[in-house]
Amino acid sequence: MFESKIIANASGRNWTSILWLSAMHLGAASALFYTSRANIISACILYFVTGCLGITMTYHRLLAHRTFALPKALEHFFVTCGALAMQGGPIKWSAQHRMHHASPDTEADPHNSHRGFLHSHLTWMFTYRPQFDSRPKILRFTRDIHCDGYYRWLDTGLGQFLPQIILACVLAWIGGFDMVLWGICLRMVLVYHGTWCVNSATHFFGYRNYPTADRSRNTWWVALITFGEGWHNNHHAYQGVAEAGHKWWELDVTMMIISMLNRLGLVTKLKSIRNIKIHPSSVQSGYLPIG
């Protein structure tokens, strides 16, 4: 996740990520001692804003896959929501996700599921690996995103931490320190595990609608906690369209929001599954780097 230039030892351990994730899990556990209705509501709202609007809708479907477009100011707002999930800046996040789609479940995949559930869920972020983390490699996959100065700033340490600190101050002002534990630490840990399950669980458990060459699967409970991302076999097969749910029962809350924004006239360049003929022979190959 984070750049590890500051704290990384000779073995390449990414201590920035390890220490940050440990601290957030500790904060999340502490939050449970301060349960209140206001704290739960604040965490739920921020779970939706950062997890659904930020990561799923904007980091993933808009930036990484370009399945639709929004007015630039609105795109910047939703990308800021994604940055508040503290999963790295939009450029690095999109680059590593595109690497995953380019070579899924191989040694060229940052969270190769053949290395085990825990590796694809979490520990792949604990080591700095130049082939996935170096700036030239990241730029090779994200030239279309890197041209935006605001996104370059969000990829810096200051760009990652400053919005979070401002949010923490607002929560402290509204509800005190215990609301910070719920709205920042517990909420962030829950969004983390939801996103991480898309990298891990959906490459291990569930059913397949399409015969993709990777191990991707549709996992209903991951779709529930990630607002539609659990229909991952569908997504690997048709990563260039906005929908992740393809059958009528595959609930895709994120697509419902994109459709709502579309009805409001805010969405352009929408790439929909309705416009292509679904057939196993038309399953897409991996994302190819630009340039």
Residues that bind Zn ion (CB under 5 A): 216
CA distance 17 to 28: 16
- The nearest distance, CB 251 to Zn ion, in angstroms, is 18
Q: Are 83 and 90 in contact (CB under 8 A)?
A: yes
- Which residues neighbour 57 within 8 Å (Cβ) at sequence distance 6 or greater? 78, 227, 254, 257, 258
- The nearest distance, CB 60 to Zn ion, in angstroms, is 6
- The nearest distance, CB 186 to Zn ion, in angstroms, is 26
CA distance 220 to 249: 10
Strand ranges inside the chain, DSSP E: none
Query: Cα–chain-centroid distance for residue 281?
Result: 28
From the list 116, 78, 75, 79, the residue with the least C-alpha distance to 94 is: 79
- Which residues neighbour 211 within 8 Å (Cβ) at sequence distance 6 or greater? 280, 283
- The nearest distance, CB 100 to Zn ion, in angstroms, is 6
Query: Cα–chain-centroid distance for residue 144?
Result: 18
Nearer Cβ to Zn ion (216/226) = 216
- The nearest distance, CB 220 to Zn ion, in angstroms, is 16
Nearer Cβ to Zn ion (34/204) = 204
CA distance 140 to 102: 12
The residue type found at 140 is: R
- The nearest distance, CB 209 to Zn ion, in angstroms, is 14
Nearer Cβ to Zn ion (64/185) = 64
- The nearest distance, CB 172 to Zn ion, in angstroms, is 35
Nearer Cβ to Zn ion (51/183) = 51
Nearer Cβ to Zn ion (87/216) = 216
Nearer Cβ to Zn ion (31/62) = 62
Q: CA Rg, the chain, in Å?
A: 18
- Which residues neighbour 174 within 8 Å (Cβ) at sequence distance 6 or greater? 42
Nearer Cβ to Zn ion (99/186) = 99
Residue nearest to Zn ion (CB): 216
